[in-house]
Structure 1
Amino acid sequence: MKPIRSLAMVALLHAIVAHPASADDLAQIRASGILRIGTEGTYAPFTYHDDAGRLTGFDIEIGTAIAQRIGVKPLFIESKWDGLIAGLDINRYDAVINDVAITDERKHKYDYSDAYITSHAVLIVASDNTTVKSFDDLKGRKAANTPTSHVGRLAAAHGAEVIPTQGFEESIDLVEAGRVDATVNDTLSFLDYKKRNPGAKIKIVAVDTSADDRGQAGVLIRKGSPKLRAALNEALAEMRKDGTYQRISQKYFGRDVFR
Protein backbone atom coordinates (compact mmCIF):
# COMPACT_ATOMS: atom_id res chain seq x y z
CA MET A 1 0.00 0.00 0.00
CA LYS A 2 1.47 3.32 -1.00
CA PRO A 3 1.16 6.24 1.43
CA ILE A 4 -1.28 9.03 0.44
CA ARG A 5 0.75 12.08 -0.50
CA SER A 6 -0.99 14.17 -3.18
CA LEU A 7 -1.08 17.67 -1.71
CA ALA A 8 -4.67 18.22 -2.80
CA MET A 9 -5.71 14.84 -1.44
CA VAL A 10 -3.86 15.45 1.82
CA ALA A 11 -5.62 18.79 2.27
CA LEU A 12 -9.00 17.27 1.48
CA LEU A 13 -8.57 14.24 3.70
CA HIS A 14 -7.13 16.35 6.50
CA ALA A 15 -10.27 18.46 6.44
CA ILE A 16 -12.51 15.39 6.32
CA VAL A 17 -10.86 13.51 9.17
CA ALA A 18 -10.15 16.45 11.47
CA HIS A 19 -11.95 15.70 14.70
CA PRO A 20 -11.85 16.65 18.37
CA ALA A 21 -9.80 14.35 20.57
CA SER A 22 -12.05 11.69 22.07
CA ALA A 23 -11.83 9.65 25.24
CA ASP A 24 -9.82 7.21 23.17
CA ASP A 25 -8.59 8.12 19.70
CA LEU A 26 -8.82 4.55 18.36
CA ALA A 27 -12.60 4.74 17.87
CA GLN A 28 -12.31 7.98 15.87
CA ILE A 29 -9.47 6.57 13.78
CA ARG A 30 -11.46 3.48 12.85
CA ALA A 31 -14.56 5.56 12.17
CA SER A 32 -12.66 7.83 9.80
CA GLY A 33 -10.73 4.95 8.21
CA ILE A 34 -7.49 6.93 8.43
CA LEU A 35 -4.53 7.01 10.82
CA ARG A 36 -3.05 10.51 10.65
CA ILE A 37 0.71 10.25 11.15
CA GLY A 38 3.02 13.19 11.82
CA THR A 39 6.49 12.84 10.31
CA GLU A 40 9.39 15.03 9.20
CA GLY A 41 10.05 13.88 5.65
CA THR A 42 13.63 15.16 5.92
CA TYR A 43 15.23 12.57 8.19
CA ALA A 44 16.72 9.76 6.14
CA PRO A 45 16.51 6.82 6.36
CA PHE A 46 13.53 7.08 8.69
CA THR A 47 11.37 9.54 6.75
CA TYR A 48 12.45 11.32 3.56
CA HIS A 49 11.68 11.88 -0.12
CA ASP A 50 13.29 9.69 -2.77
CA ASP A 51 14.65 10.92 -6.11
CA ALA A 52 11.12 10.84 -7.56
CA GLY A 53 9.83 12.98 -4.70
CA ARG A 54 7.91 10.16 -3.02
CA LEU A 55 7.72 10.09 0.76
CA THR A 56 9.48 6.94 1.91
CA GLY A 57 11.72 5.54 4.62
CA PHE A 58 11.82 3.08 7.51
CA ASP A 59 9.22 4.93 9.59
CA ILE A 60 6.95 5.46 6.59
CA GLU A 61 6.85 1.71 5.93
CA ILE A 62 6.42 0.98 9.65
CA GLY A 63 3.55 3.48 9.86
CA THR A 64 1.90 2.03 6.75
CA ALA A 65 2.14 -1.50 8.15
CA ILE A 66 0.72 -0.38 11.50
CA ALA A 67 -2.24 1.31 9.80
CA GLN A 68 -2.94 -1.81 7.75
CA ARG A 69 -3.08 -3.94 10.89
CA ILE A 70 -5.41 -1.48 12.63
CA GLY A 71 -7.62 -1.71 9.53
CA VAL A 72 -7.23 1.84 8.22
CA LYS A 73 -5.17 3.81 5.70
CA PRO A 74 -2.16 5.96 6.63
CA LEU A 75 -2.18 9.71 6.03
CA PHE A 76 1.30 11.17 6.47
CA ILE A 77 1.37 14.83 7.46
CA GLU A 78 4.80 16.42 7.19
CA SER A 79 6.12 18.98 9.64
CA LYS A 80 9.48 20.37 10.70
CA TRP A 81 10.92 18.72 13.79
CA ASP A 82 10.62 21.81 16.00
CA GLY A 83 6.81 21.73 15.71
CA LEU A 84 6.30 18.04 15.03
CA ILE A 85 5.43 16.81 18.52
CA ALA A 86 3.36 19.91 19.27
CA GLY A 87 1.11 18.86 16.37
CA LEU A 88 -0.33 16.19 18.67
CA ASP A 89 -1.46 18.91 21.09
CA ILE A 90 -3.61 20.62 18.45
CA ASN A 91 -4.94 17.31 17.08
CA ARG A 92 -3.20 17.75 13.74
CA TYR A 93 -2.52 14.02 13.71
CA ASP A 94 -3.10 10.92 15.80
CA ALA A 95 0.49 9.73 16.20
CA VAL A 96 4.06 10.77 15.49
CA ILE A 97 6.26 8.14 13.84
CA ASN A 98 9.66 9.74 13.39
CA ASP A 99 12.30 7.86 15.43
CA VAL A 100 11.06 9.72 18.52
CA ALA A 101 13.29 8.86 21.49
CA ILE A 102 11.55 7.55 24.59
CA THR A 103 12.39 9.97 27.42
CA ASP A 104 11.04 10.52 30.92
CA GLU A 105 10.41 14.17 30.07
CA ARG A 106 8.10 13.30 27.17
CA LYS A 107 6.35 10.57 29.20
CA HIS A 108 4.96 13.26 31.51
CA LYS A 109 2.89 14.69 28.66
CA TYR A 110 2.53 11.91 26.05
CA ASP A 111 2.22 8.15 25.77
CA TYR A 112 4.36 5.80 23.69
CA SER A 113 3.86 2.49 22.03
CA ASP A 114 6.29 -0.24 22.98
CA ALA A 115 9.76 0.53 21.66
CA TYR A 116 10.36 -0.49 18.04
CA ILE A 117 13.88 0.92 17.51
CA THR A 118 16.99 0.51 19.62
CA SER A 119 19.85 2.88 18.95
CA HIS A 120 22.21 5.34 20.64
CA ALA A 121 23.25 8.93 20.23
CA VAL A 122 26.75 9.24 18.82
CA LEU A 123 29.25 12.06 18.52
CA ILE A 124 30.21 12.62 14.88
CA VAL A 125 33.15 14.72 13.70
CA ALA A 126 35.17 15.22 10.52
CA SER A 127 37.60 12.41 9.73
CA ASP A 128 40.61 14.67 10.27
CA ASN A 129 39.37 16.05 13.59
CA THR A 130 41.77 15.05 16.39
CA THR A 131 40.57 17.45 19.09
CA VAL A 132 37.02 16.23 19.76
CA LYS A 133 37.25 12.71 21.15
CA SER A 134 34.48 12.60 23.76
CA PHE A 135 31.24 14.34 24.68
CA ASP A 136 33.14 16.35 27.28
CA ASP A 137 35.20 17.85 24.46
CA LEU A 138 32.06 19.61 23.17
CA LYS A 139 32.30 22.30 25.85
CA GLY A 140 32.71 25.66 24.15
CA ARG A 141 32.57 24.13 20.67
CA LYS A 142 29.91 24.27 17.94
CA ALA A 143 27.56 21.35 17.31
CA ALA A 144 25.08 21.26 14.41
CA ASN A 145 21.71 19.94 15.59
CA THR A 146 17.97 20.54 15.69
CA PRO A 147 17.89 22.38 19.04
CA THR A 148 14.75 20.79 20.50
CA SER A 149 15.67 17.19 19.65
CA HIS A 150 17.05 14.81 22.27
CA VAL A 151 20.44 14.82 20.55
CA GLY A 152 20.42 18.64 20.36
CA ARG A 153 19.72 18.87 24.08
CA LEU A 154 22.45 16.29 24.72
CA ALA A 155 24.97 18.44 22.83
CA ALA A 156 23.91 21.52 24.80
CA ALA A 157 24.10 19.60 28.09
CA HIS A 158 27.77 18.94 27.35
CA GLY A 159 28.42 22.65 26.85
CA ALA A 160 28.22 22.90 23.07
CA GLU A 161 26.92 25.94 21.24
CA VAL A 162 24.11 24.38 19.19
CA ILE A 163 23.97 25.66 15.61
CA PRO A 164 20.37 25.06 14.46
CA THR A 165 19.75 22.79 11.47
CA GLN A 166 16.68 21.16 9.93
CA GLY A 167 17.96 17.61 9.87
CA PHE A 168 20.77 15.06 9.83
CA GLU A 169 22.19 15.74 6.38
CA GLU A 170 22.36 19.50 6.92
CA SER A 171 24.22 18.83 10.17
CA ILE A 172 26.68 16.52 8.39
CA ASP A 173 27.22 19.10 5.63
CA LEU A 174 28.27 21.66 8.25
CA VAL A 175 30.62 19.16 9.89
CA GLU A 176 32.29 18.23 6.59
CA ALA A 177 32.57 21.90 5.61
CA GLY A 178 34.33 22.69 8.88
CA ARG A 179 31.69 25.22 9.91
CA VAL A 180 31.00 23.32 13.13
CA ASP A 181 33.10 20.99 15.25
CA ALA A 182 30.63 18.13 15.55
CA THR A 183 27.07 16.87 15.53
CA VAL A 184 25.39 14.60 18.05
CA ASN A 185 23.10 12.31 16.14
CA ASP A 186 21.63 8.86 15.77
CA THR A 187 23.93 5.92 15.10
CA LEU A 188 21.49 4.38 12.61
CA SER A 189 21.31 7.61 10.63
CA PHE A 190 25.12 7.64 10.53
CA LEU A 191 25.31 4.05 9.27
CA ASP A 192 22.72 4.74 6.59
CA TYR A 193 24.48 7.92 5.48
CA LYS A 194 27.84 6.16 5.23
CA LYS A 195 26.22 3.36 3.24
CA ARG A 196 24.86 5.89 0.76
CA ASN A 197 27.95 8.11 0.86
CA PRO A 198 30.97 5.84 1.42
CA GLY A 199 33.36 8.67 0.69
CA ALA A 200 31.95 10.93 3.40
CA LYS A 201 34.77 12.26 5.56
CA ILE A 202 33.14 11.76 8.95
CA LYS A 203 33.61 9.40 11.87
CA ILE A 204 32.06 8.41 15.18
CA VAL A 205 34.26 9.19 18.18
CA ALA A 206 31.92 8.50 21.10
CA VAL A 207 28.66 6.70 21.91
CA ASP A 208 26.19 7.87 24.57
CA THR A 209 25.03 5.03 26.82
CA SER A 210 24.06 7.20 29.79
CA ALA A 211 20.40 6.15 29.91
CA ASP A 212 18.89 2.88 28.73
CA ASP A 213 15.57 4.38 27.63
CA ARG A 214 17.29 6.98 25.47
CA GLY A 215 18.52 4.22 23.22
CA GLN A 216 14.96 3.42 22.18
CA ALA A 217 12.19 5.03 20.13
CA GLY A 218 8.44 4.48 20.02
CA VAL A 219 5.27 5.74 18.37
CA LEU A 220 4.20 8.90 20.20
CA ILE A 221 0.50 9.54 20.95
CA ARG A 222 -1.62 11.73 23.19
CA LYS A 223 -2.31 10.61 26.74
CA GLY A 224 -5.70 9.11 27.46
CA SER A 225 -5.89 6.61 24.59
CA PRO A 226 -5.07 3.20 26.10
CA LYS A 227 -7.01 1.37 23.38
CA LEU A 228 -4.97 3.10 20.66
CA ARG A 229 -1.75 2.29 22.50
CA ALA A 230 -2.80 -1.36 22.80
CA ALA A 231 -3.66 -1.48 19.07
CA LEU A 232 -0.26 -0.03 18.16
CA ASN A 233 1.51 -2.55 20.38
CA GLU A 234 -0.51 -5.42 18.92
CA ALA A 235 0.35 -4.27 15.39
CA LEU A 236 4.06 -4.03 16.19
CA ALA A 237 4.03 -7.48 17.81
CA GLU A 238 2.30 -8.97 14.75
CA MET A 239 4.89 -7.37 12.48
CA ARG A 240 7.72 -8.96 14.41
CA LYS A 241 5.96 -12.32 14.49
CA ASP A 242 5.21 -12.47 10.73
CA GLY A 243 8.59 -11.06 9.65
CA THR A 244 7.33 -7.72 8.31
CA TYR A 245 9.39 -5.73 10.78
CA GLN A 246 12.58 -7.65 10.02
CA ARG A 247 12.05 -7.21 6.26
CA ILE A 248 11.65 -3.44 6.58
CA SER A 249 14.59 -3.22 8.96
CA GLN A 250 16.89 -5.21 6.67
CA LYS A 251 15.89 -3.03 3.72
CA TYR A 252 17.04 0.19 5.37
CA PHE A 253 19.77 -0.88 7.80
CA GLY A 254 20.93 -4.36 6.85
CA ARG A 255 19.98 -5.71 10.28
CA ASP A 256 17.21 -5.86 12.86
CA VAL A 257 17.32 -2.44 14.53
CA PHE A 258 15.15 -3.46 17.47
CA ARG A 259 17.82 -5.71 18.96
Structure 2
Amino acid sequence: MTFARLLASAAVATALVAGPAVAKDWETVRIGTEGAYPPFNTLTSDGQLEGFDIDIAKALCEKMEVTCEFVTQDWEGIIPALEAGKYDAIIASMSITEERKQRVDFTEKYYNTPPALVVPKGSDITEATADALSGKTIGAQASTTHAEYAEKLFPDADVKLYPTAEEYKLDLENGRLDGAVDDVIVIDEWVKADGTCCEILDTLPMDAAIYGEGIGIAIRQDDDDLREMFNKAIAAIREDGTYKTINDKYFEFDVYGD
Protein backbone atom coordinates (compact mmCIF):
# COMPACT_ATOMS: atom_id res chain seq x y z
CA MET A 1 0.00 0.00 0.00
CA THR A 2 1.40 3.43 -0.95
CA PHE A 3 1.96 6.19 1.60
CA ALA A 4 -0.83 8.27 0.01
CA ARG A 5 -3.31 5.41 0.31
CA LEU A 6 -2.28 4.87 3.95
CA LEU A 7 -3.05 8.54 4.66
CA ALA A 8 -6.41 8.29 2.93
CA SER A 9 -7.33 5.16 4.89
CA ALA A 10 -6.33 6.83 8.13
CA ALA A 11 -8.50 9.86 7.33
CA VAL A 12 -11.55 7.67 6.67
CA ALA A 13 -10.99 5.74 9.89
CA THR A 14 -10.73 8.97 11.88
CA ALA A 15 -13.95 10.31 10.37
CA LEU A 16 -15.79 7.09 11.24
CA VAL A 17 -14.61 7.24 14.84
CA ALA A 18 -15.42 10.94 15.15
CA GLY A 19 -18.95 10.46 13.85
CA PRO A 20 -21.27 13.29 12.74
CA ALA A 21 -20.61 16.95 13.62
CA VAL A 22 -22.10 18.09 16.92
CA ALA A 23 -23.80 21.40 17.73
CA LYS A 24 -21.56 24.28 18.75
CA ASP A 25 -20.89 24.93 22.41
CA TRP A 26 -22.09 28.51 22.80
CA GLU A 27 -20.17 29.59 25.88
CA THR A 28 -19.26 32.87 24.16
CA VAL A 29 -21.40 34.69 21.59
CA ARG A 30 -19.85 37.47 19.53
CA ILE A 31 -22.38 40.15 18.64
CA GLY A 32 -21.98 42.55 15.74
CA THR A 33 -23.50 46.03 15.98
CA GLU A 34 -23.03 49.37 14.25
CA GLY A 35 -22.43 51.74 17.15
CA ALA A 36 -23.74 54.72 15.15
CA TYR A 37 -27.53 54.56 15.53
CA PRO A 38 -28.65 56.24 18.77
CA PRO A 39 -30.62 55.56 20.88
CA PHE A 40 -30.44 51.92 19.77
CA ASN A 41 -26.67 51.48 19.52
CA THR A 42 -23.96 54.10 19.82
CA LEU A 43 -20.39 54.59 20.99
CA THR A 44 -19.71 56.92 23.94
CA SER A 45 -16.81 59.37 23.94
CA ASP A 46 -14.66 56.78 25.72
CA GLY A 47 -15.46 54.04 23.18
CA GLN A 48 -18.12 52.14 25.13
CA LEU A 49 -21.23 50.74 23.43
CA GLU A 50 -24.60 51.73 24.83
CA GLY A 51 -28.25 51.88 23.79
CA PHE A 52 -31.41 49.81 23.62
CA ASP A 53 -29.91 47.16 21.30
CA ILE A 54 -26.91 46.79 23.61
CA ASP A 55 -28.95 46.45 26.79
CA ILE A 56 -31.26 43.92 25.12
CA ALA A 57 -28.26 41.93 23.89
CA LYS A 58 -26.74 41.83 27.38
CA ALA A 59 -30.06 40.72 28.90
CA LEU A 60 -30.44 37.95 26.30
CA CYS A 61 -26.91 36.71 26.87
CA GLU A 62 -27.56 36.62 30.62
CA LYS A 63 -30.69 34.51 30.07
CA MET A 64 -28.74 32.18 27.76
CA GLU A 65 -25.92 31.99 30.33
CA VAL A 66 -23.28 32.90 27.76
CA THR A 67 -20.57 35.54 27.65
CA CYS A 68 -21.22 38.45 25.27
CA GLU A 69 -18.46 39.99 23.19
CA PHE A 70 -19.39 43.02 21.07
CA VAL A 71 -17.83 43.87 17.71
CA THR A 72 -18.51 47.19 15.93
CA GLN A 73 -18.95 47.08 12.18
CA ASP A 74 -19.94 49.60 9.50
CA TRP A 75 -23.55 49.01 8.44
CA GLU A 76 -22.92 48.25 4.77
CA GLY A 77 -20.58 45.39 5.65
CA ILE A 78 -22.50 44.05 8.60
CA ILE A 79 -24.05 40.98 6.90
CA PRO A 80 -20.90 40.00 4.96
CA ALA A 81 -18.92 40.14 8.22
CA LEU A 82 -21.45 37.79 9.87
CA GLU A 83 -21.16 35.38 6.94
CA ALA A 84 -17.37 35.55 7.20
CA GLY A 85 -17.44 34.58 10.89
CA LYS A 86 -16.35 37.91 12.35
CA TYR A 87 -19.19 37.51 14.88
CA ASP A 88 -22.08 35.12 15.53
CA ALA A 89 -25.14 37.39 15.56
CA ILE A 90 -26.19 40.89 14.52
CA ILE A 91 -28.09 42.97 17.08
CA ALA A 92 -28.24 46.33 15.35
CA SER A 93 -31.88 47.29 14.68
CA MET A 94 -32.02 45.16 11.53
CA SER A 95 -35.43 44.64 9.90
CA ILE A 96 -36.48 41.07 9.12
CA THR A 97 -36.96 41.19 5.35
CA GLU A 98 -37.34 38.56 2.64
CA GLU A 99 -34.29 39.89 0.80
CA ARG A 100 -32.07 39.50 3.87
CA LYS A 101 -33.51 36.04 4.55
CA GLN A 102 -31.80 34.89 1.36
CA ARG A 103 -28.48 35.30 3.17
CA VAL A 104 -29.17 35.02 6.92
CA ASP A 105 -31.72 33.63 9.34
CA PHE A 106 -33.56 35.73 11.91
CA THR A 107 -34.95 35.31 15.38
CA GLU A 108 -38.42 36.48 16.31
CA LYS A 109 -38.67 40.29 16.47
CA TYR A 110 -37.51 42.17 19.55
CA TYR A 111 -39.07 45.51 18.57
CA ASN A 112 -41.07 47.15 15.79
CA THR A 113 -41.43 50.94 15.34
CA PRO A 114 -42.58 52.97 12.32
CA PRO A 115 -40.54 55.26 10.06
CA ALA A 116 -41.01 59.03 10.00
CA LEU A 117 -40.19 62.04 7.86
CA VAL A 118 -38.11 64.80 9.47
CA VAL A 119 -37.84 68.28 7.95
CA PRO A 120 -36.16 71.55 8.94
CA LYS A 121 -38.22 73.82 11.17
CA GLY A 122 -40.12 76.32 9.02
CA SER A 123 -40.04 74.03 5.99
CA ASP A 124 -42.53 74.66 3.20
CA ILE A 125 -43.20 70.89 3.14
CA THR A 126 -46.50 70.47 4.98
CA GLU A 127 -47.39 66.85 4.30
CA ALA A 128 -45.55 63.56 3.77
CA THR A 129 -46.86 62.75 0.31
CA ALA A 130 -45.27 61.98 -3.03
CA ASP A 131 -46.60 65.24 -4.49
CA ALA A 132 -45.29 67.33 -1.61
CA LEU A 133 -41.83 65.75 -1.87
CA SER A 134 -41.59 65.90 -5.67
CA GLY A 135 -38.32 67.59 -6.65
CA LYS A 136 -37.09 67.69 -3.05
CA THR A 137 -33.87 66.11 -1.78
CA ILE A 138 -34.43 63.49 0.90
CA GLY A 139 -31.72 61.81 2.95
CA ALA A 140 -31.56 58.26 4.32
CA GLN A 141 -28.93 55.80 5.49
CA ALA A 142 -27.67 53.56 2.67
CA SER A 143 -28.49 49.83 2.60
CA THR A 144 -31.42 50.25 4.98
CA THR A 145 -35.13 49.58 4.70
CA HIS A 146 -35.66 53.31 5.27
CA ALA A 147 -33.67 54.13 2.13
CA GLU A 148 -35.68 51.61 0.10
CA TYR A 149 -38.92 53.00 1.51
CA ALA A 150 -38.00 56.63 0.77
CA GLU A 151 -37.28 55.72 -2.86
CA LYS A 152 -40.61 53.89 -3.15
CA LEU A 153 -42.80 56.39 -1.27
CA PHE A 154 -41.31 59.51 -2.86
CA PRO A 155 -40.47 58.42 -6.45
CA ASP A 156 -40.04 61.96 -7.76
CA ALA A 157 -37.73 63.08 -4.97
CA ASP A 158 -33.94 62.92 -5.12
CA VAL A 159 -33.08 60.37 -2.42
CA LYS A 160 -29.51 60.90 -1.25
CA LEU A 161 -27.90 58.01 0.64
CA TYR A 162 -25.37 58.25 3.46
CA PRO A 163 -23.08 55.69 5.15
CA THR A 164 -24.44 56.61 8.63
CA ALA A 165 -27.44 58.38 10.12
CA GLU A 166 -25.14 61.01 11.61
CA GLU A 167 -24.11 62.15 8.13
CA TYR A 168 -27.62 62.79 6.83
CA LYS A 169 -28.39 64.65 10.08
CA LEU A 170 -25.41 66.94 9.47
CA ASP A 171 -26.56 67.72 5.92
CA LEU A 172 -30.10 68.38 7.14
CA GLU A 173 -28.78 70.75 9.79
CA ASN A 174 -26.70 72.58 7.20
CA GLY A 175 -29.54 73.05 4.71
CA ARG A 176 -28.32 70.54 2.13
CA LEU A 177 -31.44 68.35 2.48
CA ASP A 178 -35.17 69.07 2.46
CA GLY A 179 -35.94 66.12 4.71
CA ALA A 180 -34.93 62.62 5.78
CA VAL A 181 -36.54 59.27 6.48
CA ASP A 182 -35.58 57.07 9.43
CA ASP A 183 -37.04 55.26 12.43
CA VAL A 184 -39.35 57.56 14.39
CA ILE A 185 -37.49 56.84 17.63
CA VAL A 186 -34.11 57.72 16.13
CA ILE A 187 -35.46 60.98 14.71
CA ASP A 188 -37.39 61.89 17.87
CA GLU A 189 -34.31 61.38 20.04
CA TRP A 190 -32.25 63.56 17.75
CA VAL A 191 -34.68 66.47 17.34
CA LYS A 192 -35.28 66.62 21.09
CA ALA A 193 -31.55 66.69 21.80
CA ASP A 194 -30.83 69.27 19.08
CA GLY A 195 -33.82 71.49 19.79
CA THR A 196 -33.26 73.99 16.97
CA CYS A 197 -32.79 72.29 13.60
CA CYS A 198 -35.66 70.08 12.71
CA GLU A 199 -39.00 68.53 13.52
CA ILE A 200 -40.93 65.38 12.72
CA LEU A 201 -43.45 66.18 10.01
CA ASP A 202 -45.27 62.85 10.27
CA THR A 203 -44.87 59.15 10.91
CA LEU A 204 -45.19 57.04 7.77
CA PRO A 205 -47.35 53.94 7.22
CA MET A 206 -45.48 50.67 7.59
CA ASP A 207 -44.96 48.84 4.29
CA ALA A 208 -44.71 45.14 5.17
CA ALA A 209 -43.14 44.34 1.80
CA ILE A 210 -40.17 46.52 2.79
CA TYR A 211 -40.10 46.47 6.58
CA GLY A 212 -40.99 42.81 6.98
CA GLU A 213 -41.85 41.40 10.39
CA GLY A 214 -40.08 43.87 12.67
CA ILE A 215 -36.57 44.09 14.04
CA GLY A 216 -34.79 40.80 14.70
CA ILE A 217 -31.42 39.25 15.42
CA ALA A 218 -29.58 37.98 12.33
CA ILE A 219 -27.86 34.57 12.58
CA ARG A 220 -25.89 32.53 10.04
CA GLN A 221 -28.16 30.06 8.27
CA ASP A 222 -26.54 26.97 9.78
CA ASP A 223 -26.72 28.18 13.40
CA ASP A 224 -30.24 26.96 14.18
CA ASP A 225 -29.37 26.19 17.80
CA LEU A 226 -28.22 29.75 18.45
CA ARG A 227 -31.36 31.18 16.85
CA GLU A 228 -33.55 29.07 19.12
CA MET A 229 -31.50 30.08 22.18
CA PHE A 230 -32.14 33.73 21.32
CA ASN A 231 -35.86 33.09 20.69
CA LYS A 232 -36.30 31.48 24.11
CA ALA A 233 -34.39 34.33 25.73
CA ILE A 234 -36.53 36.99 23.99
CA ALA A 235 -39.68 35.29 25.28
CA ALA A 236 -38.16 35.02 28.76
CA ILE A 237 -37.24 38.72 29.10
CA ARG A 238 -40.68 39.70 27.83
CA GLU A 239 -42.25 37.42 30.41
CA ASP A 240 -40.21 38.35 33.49
CA GLY A 241 -40.28 42.15 33.08
CA THR A 242 -36.66 42.61 32.01
CA TYR A 243 -37.73 43.86 28.58
CA LYS A 244 -40.08 46.44 30.11
CA THR A 245 -37.33 47.73 32.40
CA ILE A 246 -35.00 48.25 29.43
CA ASN A 247 -37.81 49.67 27.29
CA ASP A 248 -38.78 52.22 29.95
CA LYS A 249 -35.16 53.34 30.32
CA TYR A 250 -35.25 54.66 26.74
CA PHE A 251 -38.85 55.12 25.64
CA GLU A 252 -42.24 56.29 26.89
CA PHE A 253 -44.18 53.51 25.15
CA ASP A 254 -43.73 49.80 24.39
CA VAL A 255 -41.60 49.56 21.23
CA TYR A 256 -42.27 45.83 20.88
CA GLY A 257 -45.35 46.60 18.78
CA ASP A 258 -48.31 44.38 17.94
Equivalent residue, structure 2, for 1:8: none
Work out the CA distance in 2 between the residues paired with 1:174 and 1:215: 31
Please say if residues 191 and 198 of structure 2, whose CA atoms lie closer than 8 Å, have aligned partners that are also in contact.
no
Find the counterpart in structure 1 of residue 78 from structure 2.
84
Q: Which residue in the other structure is 2:114 paired with? A: 120
Alignment gaps of 5+ in structure 2? 1-20
2:98 equivalent to 1:109: no
User: CA–CA distance in 1 between the matches of 2:147 and 2:172?
Assistant: 15
User: What letter corresponds to residue 124 of structure 2 in structure 1?
Assistant: T
Aligned to 2:227: 229
Q: 2:206 aligns with which of 205, 209, 212?
A: 209
Residue 237 of structure 2 is matched in structure 1 by 239
Q: Shift in Å at residue 222 of structure 1?
A: 1.4
Which has the higher mean CA deviation after the structures are superposed, 190-199 or 114-123? 190-199
Which secondary structure does the structure 1 equivalent of 2:71 belong to? strand
Name the residue aligned to 1:152: 147
Asked whether the 8 Å contact 1:37–1:77 carries over to 2, the reply is yes
Deviation, structure 1 residue 51: 3.9
2: distance between equivalents of 1:224 and 1:140?
45
Aligned mate of 1:194, from 187, 191, 194? 191
**Which residues of structure 1 form unaligned runs of 5+?**
1-22
Question: Mean alpha-carbon deviation: is it higher for 219-228 or for 190-199?
Answer: 190-199
1:125-136 correspondence runs (5 A): 125-131=119-125, 133-136=127-130
SS at match of 1:254: coil
Q: What are the Cα deviations for residues 66-110 of structure 1, in whole angstroms up to 9, with x where unaligned? A: 112222111111111111122111111111001101112112222
Give the stretch that moved more between structures: 229-238 or 148-157.
Answer: 148-157
Question: In structure 1, the residue corresponding to 2:68 is in which secondary structure?
Answer: strand
1:168 paired to 2:165: yes
> Match for residue 65 of structure 2?
71
Letter in 2 for 1:247: T
State the TM-score, normalized to the length of structure 1: 0.82
**Structure 2 residue matching 1:37: 3-state secondary structure:** strand
The letter for the 2-side match of 1:191 is: D
1:42 to 36, 44, 65: 36
- 8 Å Cα contact 1:120-1:214 kept in structure 2: no
Within 2, Cα distance between the matches of 1:245 and 1:116? 9
Aligned letter for 2:223? S
How many residue pairs end up in the alignment?
234
TM-score, length of structure 2 as denominator length: 0.82
Q: Identity, % of aligned pairs? A: 31
